[in-house]
Structure 1
Amino acid sequence: MKQRSATQNRLAALVAPYLDIRLLGRWAAVFAAGILMSRAGMFDRIAPFGVAFAAGVPASLLFPALLGAAVGYCLPLLPVAGATKYLLALCVVAVIRLLLNNRVKLAKKSGFLAAVALLATGVPSLLSAYTLMADAAGVTVSAAEAVLSAAVAFFCSVALQSLDQGFLASVVDRKQHACLVVVASIMLLALCGVNVMGFSVGRFAAVLVILVIASAYGPAAACAAGVVVGVTSGLASFNLIVLAAVYGFAALLAGVFGVFGRTGSAAAFILANGMAVLMAGTDVVPLSVLYEVMAATLVYMLLPQKLINRAALFKLESLKPQAEADAEVYTRLTLAGNAMREVRTAVETVSQGLGRIQSGDISSVYDEVSHSVCGHCDKRFSCWGKHYNRTMGAFNTLSEAYRQQSTIAEDDFPPEFLESCKKTRRIITAVNDGFSRFRARESSVRRFGEVRSIVSEQFETMSELLDELSREVINRHEVNAALSAAVREYLEGTGITPTGVLCENDKDGRLLLTIRIATDEIESISRVKLAKALGVVCKKSLALPVITEKDNLTTIRLREKPRLTVLYGEYQSAFKDGRVCGDNIRYVANSGGQVQVVLSDGMGSGPAAAVDSAMTSSLLTKMISAGLRPEGAMKFANSALLVKSAEESLSTADITLIDLYTGKTQIYKAGAAPTFVKSAGKTFMLEGDSLPIGILNGVSIDQNQLKLESGDMVLMVSDGALADGPEWIIQELERYDSDDMGNLAKYIVETAKKRRSDGHDDDISAAAVLVTANV
């Protein structure tokens, strides 16, 4: 009995550590994560993430990680072919780590674990490529897979270091946070392959996350989240890489329209995705993506507000003058922008390699014919052995014949080949079928190359937006705590208790005042009286406030009053006095003291031209208002026109930006007519030689910069006003001395119609701006 009791005690001592509830919980979580990581595939071709996860986990969690990854690779419907090599790689990981874990000091270092993943993934992948006699592109993909596995193993190691002390450390540093995002994205990649009734679980969850982030953090964070989950969804299926741009743009709009509450965010996100489906076509963005967006949006609308509020970790009152925090945000945004550029480069490199693999060359048609038709022929050894050169010479003559007449007939073969071949008709049928499939593949690859180029340009545009946001953060001045307290005291004295007050200066020292008040605490606000009263408190002349309401919270923003203002007018005349003008004009005066005037001239006239010009001007004004530089906004609009439809769509872009604080004016043109300026008693025109947008993948831009003061004028026109040359417009502008800009624009348009003498007609538009002192 004593011996049995001693044995039981020893067994209990061995088993006890594994009966710890927390340890079992960690093992279960790692086991599930291993399954998910192994189910994540990229471009329907590689899936090294399960191996990388097993290589990167802490030693105490190696067993459940290996077991989970092995189960995931053995489950049916693996997103890629060839699970055997990944199981072999897991065996290599297990052997190396078990042998060296307690014998090598570096065995727990992230760099060492990355090297283990590189070796474990690289050897089976390269052996597989050698066995299958892969070409240079195939070997390159195998090598890239090994490097990717090493990188992910490093991320897993850094992210999961805290698991040795607890399931999730209470304090996670910045590096671990970034690596956790990468690991979570790969798990999302696996979920993208899980379909329920035609819906992707991963993309459904991704859209839900984007909308919550847009509601909690605004457009910048939403844009970043949209790009990350879009790239992840695209990696799951190479044909959906365009989702990186679609989700990024839709998330940005959801954040921008978040001022209208959850309904505004949801509507903007659905409309942006719907527009993407219409522009790109269902062959590029499947209709199911839109259904997933609508379903996720419905769930988002049903979420309790308290749940969404928990995601908003940073409140207005927590903003403090910390230069260190600004520098940290600047660094993160800069790194994110650089990462977007690296993703663009990586996507182009990998897709070009895969494109070569998928498209092949025309000799593949002859290989198929030789196997399908000649493979069972008793003369195959003679034709493809002794007379190989004669046979290949006959086939090589077919390529040019097919390109000229789109079909192959007996007359296209040399006579000596027809005499020796017994299966000429079957060969002709097989060659015609093979050529048809080859041309279809070529067309698909070419179309996909165009989409890839557009997506790459969107990555660059997103990186520019992140760069601009980082510059704004680092140039922000410290918060004026004393002035914030004075404004709060004044408001409380009037019976209003604000939930947050923030007074800060921008990079030029101009005052920005933000106040948040519970909507049910105020009945109505006189914008004029509020600006005057707070101006007295701040000892500044303030412009009228911008007031927005969201989730029972009213936000009031006031800025220091600009020293300049503008008087504006526009006028248009449609082609042959029609009802629809092919030109479009947008005027936007934002709260930051900037005036935008955008004039776009669509190709031709009528409804089609009106759609192109309206789309161009709308995108430009929205993107510039969101913080994107005009150059980046033009690239974005250029991509939109390229994918809008199969038919050619192009339009000019003419942008005038006026800073009402300084008078600094920037003029950007892409194929646009000259802009006329009257400044300091002189009248002149600014022109360029760039092409309209929507023609080429890239876009060239003409830029001019000047400084305007009170009394200066700017006149923008479409090319329909220049049929009789520009000189008369300069003369009219010199003589004009009224401040009625609407009358000036109308006069220019009507006079241009009268002066036209070439017997043709065109859309004519004019937009006039007069800069005046803001008294």
Structure 2
Amino acid sequence: MIGSISKTHSKTSQKLNGDTWTKWKRIAGEKSRKLLIDRGWLLIFIAFLLGRVIILSAVSPFAVAFVASVWMLRRKLTLKLALAALTGALTIHMQHTILLFAAIMFFFTFAVLFKKVKHQQRMIPILVFASYFISRMGMNYIQGNWSSYEWMFSIVEASLSVVLVYIFMQGVPLLSPKRYKQTLKNEEIVCMMILLASVLTGTIGWTIYDASVEQVLSRYFVLWFAFVAGAAIGSTVGVVTGLILSLANVASLYQMSLLAFSGLLGGLLKEGKKLGVGLGLFVGTLLIGIYWNEGREFTTMLMETGFAVLLFFMTPESWISRVARYIPGTNEHSKEQEKYMQKVRDVTASKIEQFSDMFQALSKSFSKIDPDEHDKENKKEMDYFLSNVTEKTCQSCFKKENCWVRNFDQTYQLMREMTEGIEDGSLMKRRKLLRDFENHCIKSSKVIETMKQEFSFYLANQRLKKQVIESRRFVADQLKGVSDVMEEFAKEIMKERKIQERKETEIMDTIKELGFEIEKLDIYSLEAGNVDIEMTLSFYDYHGEASKVIAPVLSEILGETIEVKHEEVSPFPNGYGYFVFKSARKYSIKTGVAHAAKGGGLVSGDSHLTMELGTGRYALAISDGMGNGERAYIESMDTLSLLQQILQSGIDEKVAIKSINSVLSLRTTDEIFSTLDLAVIDLHSADAKFLKIGSTPSFIKRGDHVLKIEASNLPIGIIQEFDVDVVSEQLKPGDLLVMMSDGIFEGPKYVENTDAWLKRKIREMESDDPQVVSDLILEEVFRSKDGKIDDDMTVLTAKIDNNIPKWASFSLYKEAK
């Protein structure tokens, strides 16, 4: 017991110590960042080193260009940077300090004079050129060097300062406390390297145990970038750094070869972690050192490399990872991009959910109708009606006060009963009511006539109010449908993010275990019945492994049948193949259609539609516009076009049809209507929903039996509000679904019972090919009419079958044990 308590106490102490250490590390990191970046001490130290830089024995434009770049980006620090640069120049010699002081002062003067000029970013390089050129020529004049060579040298040096301004303006923002960009371009990396190499040049002359500081740091940074970004960036950093160092000290020209070769080797050996990159630097040092051993002690070169590798091993992994996040192509950058995309998806899902809630609230607001309030409104309308009647009859009557003051209740009740009689058409049959009213009112006939006249206005007002209520219900249904779609979409986004990470790892590991080299895996959807995976694989000699092996394995992992929808394979050995894997439907549908226009014309008023919806459903529809010809064709096509767009958005079929009906009924005042026969089949369960709006029955042939599917709804566009009857039927493999327009159903001549005739014809069909069946039915009706086509005729046939992939899934060997 005591031992367990002590162990628990020990673990708790370790945890507290670890938390304390993490806390102190975080505080130290924040303090150092605030000191170096926010307060600008890092820039001040860089300015000090750049003030020491002289290349080609006399050229020194680095400090002025750096001060000008910071003037543009962080103006408050420029005075401190100028003082730091002059301090660094004093450590070299006085002539260099005077030249740098004059150039900086000229720049400050010009910058103040031209501070109100627009496009300062374009103006700064010109000011730097003028400042440095005037300072150098002034120095030459004092020294008496007024030759054409000095003029040319001054122009070249001032031009170099302009180039450095553009380079530093891309490098300095990387050291800014406010950095929003998460990815560095290759040009920005090179500019940063030039700035870094220029800073390292300022350490020339500093040594530690005979090892040059600039050589140690240059190799250290090459190791860092080779480890982070690979051979390309590593060798580029080596070339840039070595070139600038060799310009400062011609004796170090070999450094460019050493750093470039070491960066290349280190990047190629980066899979060996820090040890591999360090080994690359040692190999490069040995090879270059043996060749250049005349100009430098070989042991000193090895010592400098050893210091650089030791410093690289001491660098915390967190520092390297932090830099790697900004360089494209690194794992850290990819993870950072994934985090960013995940955040975007979370924010998107949250916004969609908010919009869904808003549409839901609007839907409730439109659909909310208080019964008590409705009754009050009806009573008000009745009072307005009676008020109009009494205004035209009772106001001029001498017995007005007797009726409406002394006997108000009796008068009002008689008037209400009279109104009810007019409304239901039973007034003339209610003799007692008429007799009582005649005894009560001396102008009864005039009042009755006026009530009949005013009642038409009352009915019109009631119809208008009813239409408003129906319109509100329509808007509420539409908003509810949009809200449901957006809610489902938000759920898909969140659900997909949770599942993908685990499934992606499982898929990657399994494919690698099977011996395939996977280059890229993109999972777009793992929704049941809507899986969408893209994969790039390497094959030495492809023999259909994607369909034969990988698709069955994916089927086993995801628990549903997966098949290859698209593949692109390289014709060369050991090439790459691109494959798209998607969910295989449990059932497949094959369709056939036959149609003919009235009188053998070219334009039929019937239109048909077959399409696969995105969620594993298949829709078949026939629309028959009223009449024949182009107008009927346009009406039926408009109906199907609206249907297709609404169904593909994910809105429920009933809401879709109600939406189409409302749009078409409000769009025109002409009496142009269209029927709609819609069947939506679930390809995962073979469950079918039939929505028939003014259309003819459909038939299902199952073996020797023929089932009839019918429903009674008015055609689309006649009334604005109607209920859609949905007929559900469970289909089976081998079923034939036959849908037709009224030209087929009502077409057979000399046939009393069309249902029985069509059932018999469908039952007697020997072929189960949908196209053959459609053609035969159309031919039978055509023959029954003695070769005449009295109406547009369309037959749409679909056959439902099991969808059997070429290769079945199999259990993995590790699970079969």
Please confirm whether the aligned pair reaches a TM-score higher than 0.5, indicating the same fold.
Answer: no
TM-score by length of 1: 0.41
Pick the structure with greater CA Rg: 2
TM-score by length of 2: 0.39
